[in-house]
Chain A
C-alpha cells in the first residue's frame, strides 16, 4: 500500500484507488473538477516518487518532466510525496561580469552556486537583500557553463533593473530563488523542426534553449527569430550569426518593426513573421518568449499555422508596475 506524503502528513492509498480519491477519503480536498483526466484542475506535482504514465497523459512534456501529473488519474504504484510547489533554498552568487549588449540591455554573469541545478530556458527570482525586492529573470546560460547569465533590460523607473545597472558591481553578492519555468528543450525528438521566436530580452531563454538543443545534437532545422522595435534594440547579432555559420541547421533572422533590418533580417511584425516565412508549423516544437501581448499573439498564430498546443512552450514576461 503506497504512502502519500502531503504537507508533512502521511496518507495510505488503497489498491486501485486514485490519489485524489484517497486524499479525499482522508479529508484532504485537492481542487478538482472532471475526475476524468481532461480539465487538469487537479494538476499536482510529485516531489518524490514517479507518477504512473496514465496520470501524465495529455500533460505537456516539459511539465511531465518536472513531475506534474493529474491526481484524478493517478493510482500510485510507489510511495510519493506531492505538493503544489517545490520550495527553493535561497542561493547566493557573486557577480562575475557586467557587459553592455546594447544601449538598454546588459549581460550580467554570476558564479553558479553549489547545489543549484536548472534547465536552459528556465528563470530565477533575483532578490535584493536590503528590501527583498524580487524580479524574475530568464537564464541565458546552459548548465555546462561555469556561470549563470542574465540579460537585463533597463526599464524606465524600474527599481530592480536600475539598481542592477547603476549600483551592483563585480564581486557583489546576489541572492536568488529558483529555478522555475516549463519552457526548455526536451531531448528525444532530434529531427523535428524547432521555432524559437522572441522579442527584446525574450532572447535570453531562447539563447539558452538554442545552445542546449545544439549541444544535445539536435539535427532538425532550428529557426530563431529575434525581434525588436528597431535595429538598435537587437543584440548578440554577431554571436548568433557565427553560431548559424557553424551549424547548417540553424537559421537566424533578426526582425525589426520599424526602419531597415540588418543584413539577412526582416522588417515587419514578429507576430506574423514565423508563420509567413515557414508556412505550415505542423510538427514543430515551438518556444516563444517576450512581452505578454507578443507571446499571446504568437501563440495563437503558431497554433493556427498548425503547431500542436502540446508543442507550444511560452514564457510571457510580466512586468511589475513601477511604484
Chain B
C-alpha cells in the first residue's frame, strides 16, 4: 500500500503543505508564544520534516529528536492542549489539500503517536 506521502505527490506536495500548515500555526494565538523569536526558515524546514514523517515519507526522525527538540517548550508550559491545536491544524491542512478523511485519520494517528515524546513524558 502506498503512503499518504506518495498519494499526495511526494516532496513537492509537502513543500506546498508546509506553507499552509505553518500559516495556520502562526495565525493561532494560542500557540504562537512558542514560536516567538524562532527563525522562520529553520522552523519551516523542521515542519517539512514533521509533515514528511507523519505522512509516511522518507525520514529519520526518532522519538529522541522529538523529545530533545521540544524540551525547552515543555519548560515554557507546552502541554496537551497545545498539542491538540497542532494536530487540528494538521488535519485542516490535509483537508485543504483534498486528502480524504480516512487518510487524514491515518496521518493524525501517526502524529498522535509522538505526543508523549513531544511532551517529554
Other-chain contact of A38, B19, B41, B59 (Cβ < 8 Å): B59
Query: CB-CB < 8 A to B49: which residues of A?
Result: 33-34, 36, 38-39
Bound complex: CA A304 to CA B11 (Å)? 22
Chain A residues with Cβ below 8 Å from B31 are: none
- Whether B97 sits at the interface, judged by CB under 8 Å, is no
Residues of B within 8 A of A309 (CB): 18-19, 22, 40-41, 44
Residue of A35, A37, A39, A300 most packed against chain B (CB within 10 A) = A39
Q: How large is the interface on A (under 10, 10 to 19, 20 to 34, 35 or more residues)?
A: 10 to 19
Q: Mark out the residues of chain A between 29 and 61 whose CB falls within 8 Å of any chain B CB in the assembled complex.
A: 33-40, 57-58
Q: Are B23 and A303 in contact (CB under 8 A)?
A: yes
Contacts of A303 in B (CB 8 A): 19, 22-23, 26, 40
Number of interface residues of B (CB under 8 A): 24
Q: Is the CB of A36 within 8 A of B23?
A: no
How far is A26 from B45 in the complex, measured between Cα atoms in Å?
Answer: 28
B12 within 8 A of A: yes
Cα-based distance from A287 to B111 in the complex (angstroms): 35
Residue ranges of A at the interface with B (Cβ–Cβ < 8 Å) = 33-40, 57-58, 296, 299-300, 303-304, 308-310
Question: What are 21 A-B pairs with beta-carbon distances under 8 A?
Answer: A33-B65, A34-B49, A34-B59, A34-B60, A34-B61, A35-B60, A36-B60, A37-B11, A38-B52, A38-B59, A39-B45, A40-B45, A57-B11, A58-B11, A58-B15, A58-B48, A303-B26, A308-B19, A309-B19, A309-B40, A310-B15
